[in-house]
A and B are shown apart, each in its own frame.
Chain A
């Protein structure tokens, strides 16, 4: 069974059809990269999969349930682009609250702090964290419940290369353990570490394949060039 099945999804925001008609599948145990120029509908697609986006048509099925249903709330983790944590609490107080909501084992707090490299900052007030630390805390929060599906909207923005590499190691480890990850990104060396890539342009899926197949199809050695050639070919 696919972890995510999107069929003829149609989303309108304001008067603009952000996603006119998109269909795709994501298989369990994989890391899927969601790429595309800004405004191409990546965040809207992710919101629809998590079930927080009003949709105008089509079906989104996640782990066998319609997106956003009660059964999924402890099984799907979502990290928004802007870190959504309480700035006036400490790192640990934030995690303790979300752990209680998720009925997660309190020992998970130390585990996720280690994963995102914030173990030394547990008692710091979140307002005083740097931008990168803030987004890592937001990610840690989503990892608390050991979700089967993780939807991450640009989780590595503002992180140094070392941390980015470590986080991607974590993503690969989670997928190897059977988890499913959908990760949006702007960074092409991250695309390299995905099993599959989805390329969006103006709400349309213009690529849905492995990095290797994308290179072969476009004849470009670098993924950067492969994307540019596809995006510009569609415009022309």
Chain B
């Protein structure tokens, strides 16, 4: 791999996003809007908002980057640009890291905006350090991006790719502990949740927001990073230089 090609790829992906201001607006402003909506839906139960509002700041980047990446990579596959790239002196890692760098940048901006609204305007309770929450949010974004990249190999059309969101992300959202603590789930679901990456992403962010158990936050962050690396490696196996 080469820094030149990785950097050029990241720049190219960012330029494409800049040409699509509507998508950028959705990525940047839907999460703060939804958090605001939560705030007023739970107007009578501020403790519920305090419990799930903070972790949501770290979970939005996971789902947005999952969708954006799976569609972007599907486009590379169907437009023939991926095949062209595979005939050029570009390592698969150049492409994957290029995407990861570009989307991590977008996720950083997204997490900053969402944090500013949640912790600033809405007065959401945060005991921990906000920068730690943002770093975890970016790690979650890279996880979402890596998983989106992998599943894009199994979609033939953009319709299918969009449906992967409910198929892959919703079950993880339900089981990760955000809505109901995992200890209160039945044993089968609790066991399933243990092997789902979003569970650890949520656990880390919840403790980071609460400012408790720094070691646990580090452990969760390490799990998220490891799963993201595995998903990227699996994604690399779906980029084929030769096809039938």
Contact = CB atoms under 8 A, between A and B. Distances in A.
Interface of A: 13, 50-54, 68, 70, 73-74, 76, 78, 80, 82-89, 93, 97-98, 100-103, 125, 141
Contacts of B184: none
A72 to B, nearest CB: 9
Given A51-B87, A80-B84, A89-B15, A101 B8 contact: yes
Sorting the interface of chain B by its residue count into under 10, 10 to 19, 20 to 34 or 35 or more gives: 20 to 34
Q: Which 9 A-B pairs have the closest CB atoms?
A: A84-B80, A100-B8, A73-B89, A97-B12, A84-B84, A54-B244, A88-B19, A74-B89, A54-B242
Contact of B84 (A70, A74, A78, A93): A78
A89 B242 contact: no
Given A52-B243, A89-B16, A93-B12, A101 B88 contact: yes
B81 interface: yes
Nearest to A53: B242
A76 B20 CA distance: 33
Contacts of B158: none
Contacts of B34: none
Contacts of B15: 89, 93
Contacts of B79: 84, 86-87
Contacts of A84: 79-81, 83-84
Chain B at the A interface: SS class: helix
Interface string B82-95: 01111111100000
B83 A88 contact: no
B109 interface: no
A53 B243 contact: yes
B187 interface: no
Nearest to A72: B87
B241 interface: yes
Given A52-B87, A84-B83, A101-B89, 4 more contacts: A51-B242, A68-B241, A70-B89, A76-B87
Contacts of A86: 12, 16, 79, 81
Interface in B141-164: none
Nearest to B12: A97
A101 B90 CA distance: 6
Nearest to A12: B244
A143 to B, nearest CB: 13
Nearest to A73: B89
A13 to B, nearest CB: 6
Given A52-B242, A53-B243, A93-B12, A73 B83 contact: no
B180 to A, nearest CB: 41
Contacts of B241: 51-52, 68
A204 B243 CA distance: 22
Contacts of B243: 52-54
Contacts of A82: 80
Nearest to B94: A101
A160 B12 CA distance: 32
Nearest to A142: B84
A53 to B, nearest CB: 6
B88 A102 contact: yes
B86 A52 contact: yes
A231 to B, nearest CB: 27
Nearest to B76: A86
Contacts of A54: 242-244
A68 B242 contact: yes
A51 B240 CA distance: 11
Given A93-B15, A100-B4, A88 B20 contact: yes
B40 to A, nearest CB: 37
B5 interface: yes
Contacts of A103: 4, 89
Q: Which residue, of B12, B19, B84, has the highest number of chain A Cβ atoms within 10 A? A: B84
Q: Which residue, of A50, A76, A78, A84, has the highest number of chain B Cβ atoms within 10 A? A: A84
B87 A97 contact: no
A165 B105 CA distance: 46
Nearest to B5: A101
Contacts of A102: 88-89
